[in-house]
A and B are shown apart, each in its own frame.
Chain A
Amino acid sequence: QSALTQPASVSGSPGQSITISCTGTTSDVGGYNYVSWYQQHPGKAPKLIIYDVSNRPSGVSNRFSGSKSGNTASLTISGLQAEDEADYYCSSCTTSSTLGVFGGGTKLTVL
């Protein structure tokens, strides 16, 4: 069982906005502003899209945004495009491990 809880799947139509939640505890998500998000297309390596809750690496579309409230972080994708169909994983540092922890992943389907 993953330390961070994500919905197994979400879906949306092109042009719409969707939000993926990532729920942890005060030992991880709620205790630090170190939540990151990764996008993974089938058969490919994960790609960093958000770090430190809401920062985007250079080259990542501004359609991706992150936020956090209490023990829950969120990834919002606006103006959905077919290419956004992928798995999304949240991650955080944690007091429970010397390594980071990941969420279980969310499969985004663009209808």
Chain B
Amino acid sequence: EVQLLDSGGGLVQPGGSLRLSCAASGFTFSSYAMSWVRQAPGKGLEWVAAITGGSISIYYTDSVKGRFTISRDNSKNTLYLQMNSLRAEDTATYYCAKSKPPWAARVNDYWGQGTLVTVSS
């Protein structure tokens, strides 16, 4: 059974940093692209970042470029999102998601439960 367990969210001041983690199990983690998708309170879904299985290709939405870093440790079956210079508009529930091949289709077939990030003073 595929399982994705998101963690690392919390309350952080503007300008602060936070690292999210996503522990994966039930599939060959290194074979699949993974993504982070966020959802601001009461709002829709927004793709934040993605990384291919071997970390060869990495993608970001424009609003987080230069501030967020997606990475993965295939030996630990874990996906990360390092978030620096956080802003109030980054407040959201962050979901990790597993991609359904091919990556070109941009389909996420399994999602974590989400972890809430609140940026506020």
- Which residue on chain A has the smallest CB distance to residue B46? A102
- Which residue on chain A has the smallest CB distance to residue B93? A45
B61 and A97 within 8 A (CB): yes
Query: Does A15 sit within 8 A of B, measured CB to CB?
Result: no
Query: Does A79 sit within 8 A of B, measured CB to CB?
Result: no
With contacts A57-B109, A103-B44 taken as known, whether A48 is within 8 angstroms of B61 at the C-beta atoms is: no
Query: Does B112 sit within 8 A of A, measured CB to CB?
Result: yes
The contact string, 1 if C-beta is below 8 Å from chain B, for chain A 50-77, is 0110000100000000000000000000
Which residues of chain B are near A22, meaning CB under 8 Å? none
Which residues of chain A are near B105, meaning CB under 8 Å? 34, 36, 51-52, 93
Query: Does A14 sit within 8 A of B, measured CB to CB?
Result: no
Residue in B48, B105, B111, B114 whose Cβ sees the most chain A Cβ within 10 Å: B105
Number of interface residues of A (CB under 8 A): 24
Tell me which of A2, A51, A89 contacts B100 (CB under 8 A).
A51
Query: Does B47 sit within 8 A of A, measured CB to CB?
Result: yes
Question: A34-B104, A91-B45, A99-B48 provided; 8 other pairs, C-beta below 8 A?
Answer: A46-B108, A46-B111, A48-B100, A57-B109, A99-B35, A99-B47, A99-B106, A102-B47
Q: Which 10 A-B pairs have the closest CB atoms?
A: A100-B106, A98-B59, A45-B111, A99-B47, A93-B106, A34-B105, A102-B45, A105-B44, A51-B107, A36-B107
- A interface residues, Cβ below 8 angstroms from B: 2, 34, 36, 38, 45-48, 51-52, 57, 89, 91-93, 97-105
- B interface residues, Cβ below 8 angstroms from A: 35, 37, 44-50, 59-61, 95, 100, 104-114
